[in-house]
Amino acid sequence: MRRPNRKGEGALLRDEILRAAAIALNEAGADSAVSLRAIARQAGIAPASVYEQFTGRDAILWELRAQGYTRLAAHLRSALTPGLDARRRVHALAAAHADFAAGNPGEYRLLFEAEQTPIPLDRLKEMPLHLVLDAMTDALRPFVEEHGHQHTARELAVVLLSTMHGHLTLWRALPLPPELDTAAENRARAVDAILGPGR
């Protein structure tokens, strides 16, 4: 069992609980399988210690979503290496999105597939999903400026996010053996269909 935190170490315990919850989430693959007991066990603390830092499971998942959107946005931006032309930037972004989902399956499902309880609009503004859309918008802007498009970069970002998520969800549902897995090729076709030939 973990030793009790000394005075002033509550923030450290809070971070440890969130790390433990993220591990439990990715191991379980779905938020429904993550309980406070599982989180406490992963962190090496008593369940009561979790309540000293969080009001309950929903509060932990809220924090994990906020961290997850921030991490995904940073991962997307890291894929935009210098020297890529406008179209290749968008393809690199889509590949990074798929890479994040594959490497963090439970976290990804929490971000985009877990049903969330409706919350007040003022609280919704705290959730940094906009960081993901900002990263996609910035990646798409050079293409729109260079080639022209009937939609703005932000509008295309929403379409791209929706398309990439739908593509991942569909591909997970198909029991294809590795030799028949053409996910990357189909993802590339989907991106090209969104971008079109430009004008």
CA gap 89, 148 in Å, rounded? 16
CATH of 1-54, one of 1.10.540, 1.10.10, 1.20.120, 3.40.50: 1.10.10
Q: Taking 50 as the threshold, does the pLDDT of residue 79 lie above it?
A: yes
3-state helix/strand/coil string of 67-117: HHHHHHHHHHHHCCCCCCCHHHHHHHHHHHHHHHHHHCHHHHHHHHCCCCC
Q: Taking 70 as the threshold, does the pLDDT of residue 33 lie above it?
A: no
Helix 129-147 to helix 153-173 angle, to the nearest 10 degrees?
120
Q: Taking 60 as the threshold, does the pLDDT of residue 192 lie above it?
A: yes
Q: What integer is the mean pLDDT of 64-78?
A: 95
What confidence score (pLDDT) does residue 80 get?
92
What confidence score (pLDDT) does residue 57 get?
87
Q: Taking 90 as the threshold, does the pLDDT of residue 188 lie above it?
A: yes
What confidence score (pLDDT) does residue 170 get?
87
What confidence score (pLDDT) does residue 9 get?
54
pLDDT of 119-178, one tens digit each? 778 777 778 899 999 999 999 999 999 887 889 999 999 999 999 999 999 888 887 887
Tell which wins on pLDDT, 134 or 2: 134
**Residue 183 pLDDT grade (very low, low, confident, very high; cuts 50, 70, 90):** confident
Q: What integer is the mean pLDDT of 105-111?
A: 89
Q: What integer is the mean pLDDT of 66-86?
A: 94
Q: What integer is the mean pLDDT of 76-103?
A: 94
> Which fold would CATH assign to domain 64-195?
Tetracycline Repressor; domain 2 (1.10.357)
CA gap 190, 196 in Å, rounded? 10
Mean pLDDT of the chain: 86
Residue 81 CB partners (closer than 8 Å, separation 6+): 92
What confidence score (pLDDT) does residue 119 get?
73
Q: What integer is the mean pLDDT of 87-115?
A: 91
CA atoms within 13 A of residue 102's CA, in its CB half-sphere = 12
pTM value? 0.82
Tell which wins on pLDDT, 116 or 65: 65
- Domain spans of the chain, in order of start: 1-54, 64-195
